[in-house]
Amino acid sequence: MSFEIVEATIPDIQAALEAGEITSKQLVLMYYERIADHDKNGLTINSVLEINPDALFIAESLDVERAINGPRGPLHGIPVLLKDNINTGDKMHTSAGSLALANSFAGEDAFIVTKLREAGAIIMGKANMTEFANFMTNGMPSGYSSRGGQVLNPYNISTPTGGSSAGSAVAVACNFCTVSVGTETSGSILNPGNLGSIIGIKPTVGLLSRSGILPLSNTQDTAGPMARTVHDAVLLLNAMLGKDHDAAMGTNTGKIHEDYTVFLDPNGLQGARIGIPRDYYFEELTDEQLALFNASVDRMRELGATIIDPADIKTAREISYSSVVLNEFKTALNAYLSHLGPGAPMRTLKDIIDFNHAHPVETLRFGQATLIDAEYTSSGTQSEAQYLRHRATDLKLCKEEGIDATMKEYNLDALLFPADFGARITSRAGYPSIVVPSGYTSAGAPFGVTFSAKAYQEPTLIKLAYAYEQHYKVRKAPSLKSFI
């Protein structure tokens, strides 16, 4: 077979499918071979947690449908991996990487999974992740779960994968799937996207449904696309759109676009006003990373962007510890578990903690301090005074007096952060971001830049990210042969 799967985009694959060069069944088998050779053997990347037992049947049925009726759209016959906290009503488990939930079946698809199936996507499997979205304990390595083990960074073994959507990012980076879906509460798409040299879109909270996703925070959680190109990420975003009963989606009325590919403008940086919050957000950069960032800014200037540098966020140093996620987790998780049905192995957060205590060798390699804190700090009612104050403070410092005030003061279209360093402020505000590869360190570690803006400004971010990517295609696939 002459078709080259490595770095193949959705348009590449659709062209090959239409030309009869490959079938979707053959495509799935090609990914299986790569997973077998590199994820489960060879370098043992360990990004794929579970394969859908029906993936080949689904692929073959979609090939038949294509032959009779033509494709449903761009996602027809495209293999997708889902983060292991996204429900599927099939023969796969949804465990958030936890052995306590290793035998848990969701019973029905998450809303976004229903939309993907309607678009003709092949749900090929589940991706490994940092257990409970990195809310298990302090000091757990990114990409580690008791059920799935440790995900490795294919670019450099000494570089973290980032988390918590580690497997989703790494599987895309390694060409183990075409695209994947991750989730983010505070950097969980942007962080592994940056360290995996891929595109990660963290949408506005309310753009995509969270129904049927094992939760961390009711106010900050969102799913989002992960891909090797901006175009592919946007096609995946399109396929997941649709409104259901998620209360957060009430904010998107009149603000959603049916097709975000119309914003894929190669000249999207021309005339854009981009602000750089230098204060606070650059303190942890190495000299090499700073040089990579500054080079990316120079490229944007060359493409016609007006750079306001600095455009500091005056509240950046006031933003500190917040109890919001800690208080919301117990309430959200217990509600999720209650909907799994009478046969579910775990009914409450306390059940999970007790299971881990009963199986310490298998589950408590790094402990479960955060789970315990969540169980005993939160009443499960979100009525604690500290929680209410912190929620109000987060919105004030991150949203109104933070991002909103800065963008208004400097008349900005977007903010530009190094790597994923702006994730904390954007996530607490519920605002969108897109991370794009911008280079590699001398050790081969990926480094990216993140465009961020106000709620439902995905069209602007897509224009900026696409224009940057198209003119400076810096992403390269990992060799999967040796580590530096």
Q: Round to whole Å and give the CA distance between 181 and 408.
A: 32
Radius of gyration of the chain (CA): 21
Q: Round to whole Å and give the CA distance between 235 and 391.
A: 34
Structure-token match 């918590």, residue found:
164
Q: What are phi and psi of 107, to 5 degrees?
A: 95, -35
HEC secondary structure over the chain: CCCCCCCCCHHHHHHHHHHCCCCHHHHHHHHHHHHHHHHCCCCCCCCEEEECCCHHHHHHHHHHHHHHHCCCCCCCCCEEEEECCECCCCCCCCCCCCHHHCCCCCCCCCHHHHHHHHCCCEEEEEECCCHHHHCCCCCCCCCEECCCEECCCCCCCCCCCCCCCHHHHHHHHCCCCCEEEEEECCCCCHHHHHHCCCEEEECCCCCCCCCCECCCCCCCCEEEEEECCHHHHHHHHHHHCCCCCCHHHHHHCCCCCCCHHHHCCCCCCCCCEEECCCCCCCCCCCHHHHHHHHHHHHHHHHCCCEEECCCCCCCHHHCCCCCHHHHHHHHHHHHHHHCCCCCCCCCCHHHHHHHHHHCHHHHCCCCCHHHHHHHHHCCCCCCCHHHHHHHHHHHHHHHHHHHHHHHHHCCCCEEEEECCCCHHHHHHHCCCEEEEEEEECCCCCEEEEEEECCCCCHHHHHHHHHHHHHHCCCCCCCCCCCCC
CB contact at 8 A, 444 and 204: no
**Which one is catalytic: 146, 165, 188, 433?**
188
Neighbours of 391 (CB within 10 A): 18
Catalytic, 83? Answer: yes
Catalytic, 188? Answer: yes
**Which one is catalytic: 24, 47, 164, 217?**
164
**Which one is catalytic: 83, 126, 202, 399?**
83
Residues taking part in catalysis: 83, 164, 188
